[in-house]
Amino acid sequence: MRRPAVCGSCSISSAARLGAALLAFVAKPLCTLPPAKLAQAIALSHWRTALYFAGTAWLVLALAVLVRLRTGSAIAKVAARVSPRAWLQGLVAAPLWLLILSALELPAALIGHHVSLRYGLSIEKWTPWWSDWLKSTVLTLLLGIFILRVLYALMRYSPRRWWLWFWIFTVPVEVLLTFAAPLVIDPLFNHFAPLAATNPVLVDQLERVAARGGLRIPPNRIFLMDASRKVTGANAYVTGLGGSKRIVVWDTTLRVESLNEILFTYGHEQGHYVLNHIPKGLAFSAAAFLFFYWIAFHLMQRLVRTHGQSWGIDAVGNWSSLGLLLLLASILSFLAEPVANTFSRDIEHQADVYGQEVIHGLVPDPQATTVSSFCADAIVWLDDPHPNRFVEFWTYSHPSTEERAEFAARYDPWLPGRKPRYLTRSN
């Protein structure tokens, strides 16, 4: 980008005109949507916000009503008739409550898919959508029953330290699930193939990006996902841990973005890979879990002590308390959302910076390429260019598109007197 020369003899009026011109330039949005697309993006933003907050309010309210109606006590009595042993009672109480939770979340999911179809973000028919929902529900039941039985066993074993023991149990489970997800869970919902098998030329280009960052990511760690069966938007992501760690590129990305934009998108994901964002995310989650488990412990103790009799909850470690536990988990998850999203936005920004730096020398103009990539995605995903600040703070896992584009447009660490954040100038 050409910059005006500094002139000590410029008149005040010339400086004022220059300042006004620069101000107008800065104020002009970088990612402008056509009027029809902009109207759709704003309407879609309203839908997403309403579904998120209204869906959460509905879930919390419904669970609160069920707790006050002593539903937990009724389910616990049914479980007690099956077996006098608490660990076998969990095979009745846990799946019933998990099915209730899935049923309560279903209306928002149905409306969300309808909205995605209406705005052209999804092309998945209802039959395969229901198939995915059923598979997700079965996985939730299998994993949830196991975890809840462990939790309630710990509650009975250590009434005052169960939150700490459960945290010690949770951390390795989360690590195991992160490792297993791309190998076992993700293939249940989408098809993955080595990118080298379908587009070896693109793999060669991506290897140039890896080499630019002083890295060698084996081609068998780069996968193409058949996202086009379900959605129209473009995306890529890093998943897995250790031997299962991989970069996944959606096939829609190859259709929506130019080659240079794909190189940036890949560079962004390589940034997650190189900057160890998955291990850092696991560490952040572990710290957050410890804090919120401790809060949940104290809230459960107090609520059962003060309201347990009227709600039909005999003790915290009794299966009759499971509805209350799910209610508190829903509330605490909602309150934790802005904390998790603040962390997520920070690492996404780091990946943006790395992605822009790593394509330097590989594309004619890294700044323009990065901006055009963000703007292209904004159009296909119908991103509101100026989201409500509170909504962005609470619900956005990435910085807003306009914020990302504005940073990219002014970020040029190869200028004299500057240096890249993650790469060296000699790269």
Q: At 365, which CATH number?
A: 3.30.2010.10
Higher pLDDT, 56 or 217: 56
Task: Give the residue-averaged pLDDT of 377-382.
Answer: 92
Give yes or no: residues 217 and 76 share one domain.
no
* Number of independent structural domains in the chain: 2
Q: What is the pLDDT of residues 122-173, one digit of tens each?
A: 999 999 999 999 999 999 999 999 999 999 999 999 999 999 999 999 999 9
Give yes or no: residues 101 and 224 share one domain.
no
Local confidence band at 117 (pLDDT 50, 70, 90 cut-offs):
very high
Q: What is the pLDDT of residue 219?
A: 87
Which of 316, 336, 356 marks a domain boundary? Answer: 336
Residue 14 forms part of a structural domain = no
Local confidence band at 312 (pLDDT 50, 70, 90 cut-offs):
very high
Host H or E run for residue 191: none
**% the chain with pLDDT above 70:** 93
Task: Give the residue-averaged pLDDT of 226-239.
Answer: 94
Q: What is the pLDDT of residue 9?
A: 34
Q: What is the pLDDT of residue 214?
A: 87
Give yes or no: residues 41 and 100 share one domain.
yes
β-bridge pairing 222-225 and 246-250 = parallel
Helix (H, G, I), strand (E, B) or coil at 228: helix
Cα distance between residue 266 and residue 250, in whole Å: 11
Q: What is the pLDDT of residues 43-58, one digit of tens each?
A: 999 999 999 999 999 9
Rank 14-28, 334-348, 371-385 by mean pLDDT and report only the highest.
334-348
Give yes or no: residues 209 and 247 share one domain.
yes
| Window from 66-70, 342-346, 412-416 with minimum mean pLDDT | 412-416
Residue 225 forms part of a structural domain = yes
Q: What is the pLDDT of residues 332-342, one digit of tens each?
A: 999 999 999 99
Give yes or no: residues 383 and 299 share one domain.
no
Q: What is the pLDDT of residue 29?
A: 75
Q: What is the pLDDT of residue 31?
A: 85
Residue 28 forms part of a structural domain = no
Give yes or no: residues 360 and 258 share one domain.
yes
User: Which residues, in sequence order, are bridge partners of residue 239?
Assistant: 246
Q: What is the pLDDT of residue 425?
A: 67
Name every residue whose Cβ is closer than 8 Å to that of residue 273 and which is 6 or more positions away in sequence.
215, 217, 238, 245, 247
Comparing C-alpha atoms, which of 31, 56, 38 is closest to residue 394?
56
Residue 43 forms part of a structural domain = yes
| Window from 7-21, 38-52, 281-295 with minimum mean pLDDT | 7-21
Give yes or no: residues 220 and 161 share one domain.
no
Mean pLDDT (the chain, rounded): 91
Residue 96 forms part of a structural domain = yes
Give yes or no: residues 131 and 79 share one domain.
yes
Comparing C-alpha atoms, which of 65, 44, 43, 63 is closest to residue 55?
63
Helices and strands (DSSP H and E) totals, the chain: 15, 4
Local confidence band at 28 (pLDDT 50, 70, 90 cut-offs):
low
Task: Give the residue-averaged pLDDT of 370-383.
Answer: 93
Q: What is the pLDDT of residues 244-288, one digit of tens each?
A: 999 999 999 999 999 999 999 999 999 999 999 999 999 999 999
- Structure-derived torsion over alpha carbons of residues 46, 49, 50, 55, reported in degrees to the nearest 10: 160
Give yes or no: residues 56 and 108 share one domain.
yes
Residue 397 forms part of a structural domain = yes
Give yes or no: residues 171 and 77 share one domain.
yes
Cα distance between residue 162 and residue 148, in whole Å: 12
Q: What is the pLDDT of residues 400-418, one digit of tens each?
A: 999 999 999 999 999 998 9
**% the chain with pLDDT above 90:** 86
Comparing C-alpha atoms, which of 170, 157, 173, 175 is closest to residue 293?
170
Structural Rg of the chain based on CA atoms: 25
Give yes or no: residues 319 and 363 share one domain.
no
Residue 423 forms part of a structural domain = no
Structural domain boundaries, residue 355: 191-276+342-410
Which of 321, 336, 351 marks a domain boundary? Answer: 336
Q: What is the pLDDT of residues 300-311, one digit of tens each?
A: 999 999 999 999
Residue 425 forms part of a structural domain = no
Host H or E run for residue 237: strand 236-239
Give yes or no: residues 67 and 144 share one domain.
yes
Q: What is the pLDDT of residue 27?
A: 52
